[in-house]
């Protein structure tokens, strides 16, 4: 194909970005007194002129060519850069479509390879027609055209394009309401309140406190409920916007996910480049018998997901091993058997959690002895956290796949790793663990630009060595 340029609408993005950047440069770098001597209309005209020239130059000098064997991208204003990406080196292809791009049939294409570095992909085509994305996939897979799924049902079905699943409204609501993402939002609200209270005049605060001095508990309960309600709403809205219209499709040897309301995002990855499968359950989702399934990829996804692609946001636990093999054929079709760690190991997890929690307790007692009683809640919470982690830690084997389960912060994570994807396995043992015959088994798989380490703690030494020898065989 001949050399192509981005869609002209990208000039708007380039212009706004250049205008902001040059404004910052003039304010920060250029002499302030010099700027003050220039009348505001002339200064604004100068900034607009510079932004227009740089935007046009950037647009004209950015070209790309979809060749028979590779994608070639030429860019750069002062330092020219040519990027040559063979199709067989591509790990994932992502697309992002903001709502204002949809009427024009445009999207941003992000291409990532095994040698990727950074968080923005190896190459980006910021604004191109949808046909460019489809052509890249066709070239990558030797003429195997990939088309959109016209319609899918709330459960997995076989279509002409492959197996497909689309999340329904009920599943999306359950997924959003059972998310523990509310925790960081609540902490952020509390932090914002503390900063806001510093701005409020002291007289106002004293007057408000004195007016409710006979209803302290009522005010405290009202504050807590308010924070919980606002945090829940924000967390709910954030997840719904992110996973609105979530669809996963298996097309031949590819898995494709699409999601998002204001920004429609598509991720395409080859099945043979999946490094591991992760099944996650928060304590809330365990109560409702729900799970989230993710894949660990050899390339780093941008934004929030990093190197783990959500394949199924919410699924009943008893359906994980019946539905998911339709999308990931090498998954077992029944629940893997997990051997829990012994009570001696569980006790050490409890001990470690309580010991860590006692550190802030001691500091609290030293700094604020009058309110130190509240600090005793920390070791109590830590006791339950340690107990939970110990009960949900274990290991197992299914054919040539290692199954490792970890419990942490009231969340259970089961990782299934093909033996051929394990890059390293190590047995870790301290001098104290040697005395009681315990050891940690850690396996590493590739995850994006780095590695993902899965550690099963406090296994009997014989069991750890048994799995280690299985890996070496």
Three-state SS letters, 4-35: EECCCCHHHHHHHHHHHHHHHHHHHCCCHHHH
Is residue 348 located within the same domain as residue 467? yes
Place of tokens 């027609």: 129
* Per-residue confidence band for 160, with pLDDT thresholds at 50, 70 and 90: very low
- The percent of residues above 70 in pLDDT, for the chain, comes to 79
pLDDT score at 89: 81
Asked if residue 89 and residue 182 are part of one domain, the reply reads: no
Q: Has residue 226 been placed in a domain?
A: yes
Higher pLDDT, 148 or 195: 195
Of the ranges 154-168, 286-300, 308-322, 441-455, which one carries the lowest mean pLDDT score? 154-168
Task: Tell me: pLDDT of 10 over 90.
Answer: yes
The pLDDT, as a whole number, for residue 206 is: 61
21-76 pLDDT, tens digit per residue, is 888 877 776 555 565 667 778 878 888 999 999 999 999 999 999 988 889 999 88
Share of the chain above pLDDT 90, in %: 32
Cβ atoms of 264 and 102 within 8 Å: the answer is yes
| Residues 314, 167 contacting (CB under 8 angstroms) | yes
Q: Is 277 exposed, middle or buried (0-12, 13-18, 19+ CB in 10 A)?
A: buried
Residue with tokens 């031949």: 252
Q: What is the mean pLDDT of residues 432-449?
A: 89
Closest CA to 338 of 459, 252, 442: 459
Whole-number pLDDT of residue 15: 94
Q: What is the pLDDT of residue 142?
A: 59
Q: What is the domain range of residue 207? A: 175-241
Cβ-contact 93, 137 below 8 angstroms: yes
For residue 260, the surrounding DSSP H or E stretch is none
Average pLDDT on 170-190 reads 69
Other CB atoms within 10 A of residue 407 CB: 23
Backbone angles phi, psi at 352, to 5 degrees: -65, -40
Question: Sign of torsion, CA 154 156 157 161?
Answer: positive
Using the predicted structure, report yes or no on whether residue 170 has a pLDDT greater than 80. Answer: yes
Q: Which residues is 411 bridged to in the sheet? A: 282, 408
Average pLDDT of the chain?
81
DSSP, residue by residue, 243-290: HTT-EEEEETTEEEEEE-SSEEEEEEEEGGGEEEEEEEEEHHHHHTTE
Is residue 61 within a helix (H) or strand (E), and if so which, with residue range? Answer: helix 40-61
Please report the pLDDT score of residue 218 as a whole number: 65
For tokens 């329904």, what's the residue?
168
Give pLDDT, residue 356. 92
The pLDDT, as a whole number, for residue 114 is: 61
Per-residue pLDDT tens for 348-358?
A: 999 999 999 89
Sheet containing 290-297, strands listed edge to edge, beginning at the edge strand earlier in sequence: 308-316, 290-297, 274-282, 411-418, 401-408, 394-398, 339-340
Q: Let me know if residue 390 belongs to a domain.
A: yes
Q: How many CB atoms lie within 10 A of CB 134?
A: 14
Q: Residue 346 sits in a domain of what CATH number?
A: 2.30.29.30
Contact 443, 468 (CB under 8 A): no
Average the pLDDT over each of 79-83, 215-219, 300-304, 397-401 and give the range with the smallest value: 300-304
pLDDT at 87: 86
403 and 463 assigned to the same domain: yes
Q: Which two tokens stand for residue 254?
A: 């590819």
* Of 216-220, 338-342, 413-417, minimum mean pLDDT range: 216-220
Last residue of a domain, one of 210, 241, 272: 241
State whether 345 and 460 are in the same domain: yes
Q: Check pLDDT > 70 for residue 217.
A: no
Going by the DSSP 8-state scheme, the letter that residue 302 receives in this structure is S
Structure-block tokens of residue 440: 């940690």
159 phi and psi angles, rounded to 5 deg: -120, 175
Residue 309: name the closest of 281, 270, 335 by CA. Answer: 270
Query: In the 8-state DSSP scheme, what is residue 382?
Result: H
pLDDT at residue 191 is higher than 60: no
With beta carbons less than 8 A apart as the criterion, state whether 311 and 301 touch.
no
Q: Is the pLDDT of residue 303 over 60?
A: no
Q: What is the mean pLDDT of residues 256-272?
A: 87
Q: In the listed set 140, 163, 192, which residue is the last one of a domain according to the structure?
A: 140
| 31/114 same-domain check | yes
In a domain, 396, yes or no: yes
Please determine, for residue 301, whether its predicted confidence score (pLDDT) is greater than 80: no
pLDDT greater than 60 at residue 158: no
Q: What is the DSSP letter of 415?
A: E
Say yes or no to pLDDT of 203 above 50: yes
Q: Is residue 49 part of a domain?
A: yes
Residue 47 lies in a domain: yes
Q: What is the mean pLDDT of residues 459-463?
A: 94
CATH at residue 13 = 2.30.29
Tell me whether residue 273 is in a domain.
no
Do 115 and 204 have their domain in common? no
Q: How many domains does the chain have?
A: 3
Of the CA atoms within 13 Å of residue 406, those in its CB half-sphere come to 15
Asked if 460 and 345 sit in the same domain, the reply is: yes
Residues paired with 125 in a beta bridge: 109
pLDDT at residue 166 above 80?
yes
pLDDT of residue 35: 59
Task: Give pLDDT tens digits for 226-239.
Answer: 777 777 788 888 88
pLDDT band with cut points at 50, 70 and 90 for residue 112? confident
- Do 109 and 179 fall within a single domain? no
d(CA 72, CA 185): 43
* pLDDT-based confidence at residue 147 (cuts at 50, 70, 90): very low
Residues 135 and 180 in one domain: no
Q: With 80 as the cut, is the pLDDT of residue 144 above it?
A: no
Model confidence at 119: pLDDT above 70: no
Out of 284-298, 373-387, 454-468, the most confident range is 454-468
Whether residue 351 is found in the same domain as residue 467: yes
Looking at residue 120, its pLDDT comes to 47
**Whether 464 and 409 share a structural domain:** yes
């Amino acid at each position: 194909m001949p050399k192509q340029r981005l869609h002209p609408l990208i000039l708007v993005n380039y212009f706004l970005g250049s205008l902001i950047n040059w404004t910052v440069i003039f304010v920060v770098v250029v002499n302030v007194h010099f700027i003050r001597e220039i009348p505001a209309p002339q200064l604004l005209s100068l900034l607009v002129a510079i932004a227009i020239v740089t935007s046009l130059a950037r647009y004209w000098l950015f070209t790309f060519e979809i060749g028979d064997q590779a994608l070639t991208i030429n860019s750069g204003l002062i330092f020219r850069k040519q990027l040559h990406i063979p199709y067989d080196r591509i790990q994932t292809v992502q697309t992002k479509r903001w709502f204002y791009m949809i009427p024009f049939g445009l999207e941003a294409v992000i291409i990532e390879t095994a040698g990727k570095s950074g968080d923005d992909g190896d190459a980006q085509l910021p604004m191109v027609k949808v046909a460019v994305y489809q052509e890249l996939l066709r070239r990558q897979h030797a003429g195997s055209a990939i088309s959109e799924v016209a319609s899918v049902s709330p459960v997995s079905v076989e279509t002409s394009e492959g197996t497909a699943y689309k999340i329904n409204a009920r599943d999306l609501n359950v997924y959003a309401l059972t998310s523990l993402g509310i925790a960081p939002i609540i902490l952020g609200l509390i932090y914002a309140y503390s900063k806001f209270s510093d701005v409020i005049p002291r007289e106002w605060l004293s007057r408000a406190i004195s007016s409710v001095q006979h209803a302290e508990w009522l005010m405290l309960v009202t504050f807590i409920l308010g924070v919980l309600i606002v945090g829940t709403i924000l967390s709910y809205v954030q997840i719904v916007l992110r996973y609105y219209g979530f669809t996963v499709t298996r097309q031949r040897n590819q898995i494709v996910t699409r999601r998002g309301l204001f920004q429609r995002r598509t991720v395409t990855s080859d099945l043979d480049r999946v490094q591991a499968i992760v099944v996650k359950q928060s304590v809330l989702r365990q109560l409702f018998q729900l799970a989230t399934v993710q894949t660990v990829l050899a390339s780093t996804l941008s934004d929030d997901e990093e190197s783990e692609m959500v394949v199924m946001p919410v699924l009943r636990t008893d359906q994980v091993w019946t539905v998911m093999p339709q999308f990931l054929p090498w998954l077992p079709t029944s629940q893997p058997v997990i051997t829990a760690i012994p009570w001696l190991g569980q006790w050490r997890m409890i001990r470690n959690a309580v010991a860590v929690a006692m550190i802030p307790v001691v500091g609290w007692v030293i700094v604020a002895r009058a309110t130190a009683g509240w600090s005793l809640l920390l070791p109590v919470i830590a006791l339950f956290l340690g107990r939970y982690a110990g009960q949900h830690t274990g290991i197992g084997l299914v054919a040539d796949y290692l199954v490792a389960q970890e419990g942490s912060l009231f969340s259970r994570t089961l990782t299934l790793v093909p033996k051929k994807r394990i890059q390293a396995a190590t047995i870790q043992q301290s001098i104290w663990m040697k005395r009681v015959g315990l050891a940690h088994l850690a396996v590493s798989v590739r995850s994006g630009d780095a590695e993902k380490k899965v550690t099963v703690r406090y296994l009997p030494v014989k069991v750890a060595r048994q799995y280690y020898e299985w890996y070496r065989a």
